[in-house]
Amino acid sequence: MASTQLIISGLIIFSIFVGVEGSNGYYHYTVDQCRFSSFDLSDLEYIRSMVFNNDQDIVFNSTVGKYVGYTEHGVQNAEEWNKLPGELERMRGEKERYCRRNTQNDINYILTKIVEPTVRLRLRKSSSGDQPAMLVCSAYNFYPKMIKLTWYRDDQEVTGDAISSEELADGDWYYQMHSHLEFTPKAGEKISCMVEHTSLKEPKELVWDSSMPEPERNKIAIGAAGLVLGLIVTAAGFIYYRTKARGRILVPSG
């Protein structure tokens, strides 16, 4: 699977509500962002945005190196804050103090984390009458999120009759995904599900044996197991008989 450029913003929001009176209140909030698009953090950027209601008021950007106002009130405050002794030096230092440490932790423990999926192919519904059968291809407990499940019939990609879910979050940083295929079984036909994920060195293929219905396969498996067990019991009895026979002393009659 092709990798995509990583662009991430770390956000901390501080909100201050002023003069709140029902739906006529005003609010002001501050958003701190750490933006980067490479794991070496060479383009790391710290941005603090101050918003009044829905209007961006003032922004400090570590690349620009100073406050910039976007409203009349914001322009006035930005000019005053840029003149405060030590203020710009303090804000520029947030890039290292706040951003670099936290984003490095994100890279180490989240962004570069790779977990291989557990995959399963099963028959959910057997074919009966005019009703087609349904196969389900599932991938569990994988990370990162992006994954691809593709169906093939006799090595030809299936473009219809398949429905896939979105990547579903498990709530513990892992994901799962399921794809359903409706089909009418044909003797000797090969049906497979191809799983592609960044954790896999090569795509993983799960093949369904459609040469016979699942109930028939179960009957054969049970019959084979019974036959093997019978042979074991027979062999054990024969060995026991031979052992006893060797221990007997024959006495001539008459």
- Between CA 57 and CA 17 the distance in angstroms is 15
As a whole-number percent, the residues of the chain with pLDDT over 70 amount to 72
Nearest to 58 by CA among 33, 35, 38, 77: 77
Residues of the chain with pLDDT under 50: 1-22, 212, 216-221, 224, 249-251, 254
pLDDT tens readout for residues 32-54? 999 988 888 888 999 999 998 88
Asked, colleague to colleague, whether 8-111 and 118-214 share their fold, the answer is no
Question: What is the reported pLDDT for 67?
Answer: 97
Instruction: Give the Cβ contact number of residue 56 at 10 Å.
Output: 15
Q: What ranges do the domains of the chain cover?
A: 8-111, 118-214
pLDDT tens readout for residues 183-194? 888 888 899 999
Q: Which residues contact 241 (CB under 8 A, 6 or more apart)?
A: none
Alpha helices (H) along the chain: 72-83, 87-94, 101-106, 214-246
- Between CA 248 and CA 207 the distance in angstroms is 57
Q: Which residues contact 103 (CB under 8 A, 6 or more apart)?
A: 8, 10, 34, 36, 41, 44
The class that CATH gives domain 8-111 is: alpha beta
Nearest to 126 by CA among 212, 191, 205: 212
Give the domain 118-214 fold: Immunoglobulin-like (2.60.40)
pLDDT tens readout for residues 230-254? 667 666 665 655 666 555 544 455 4
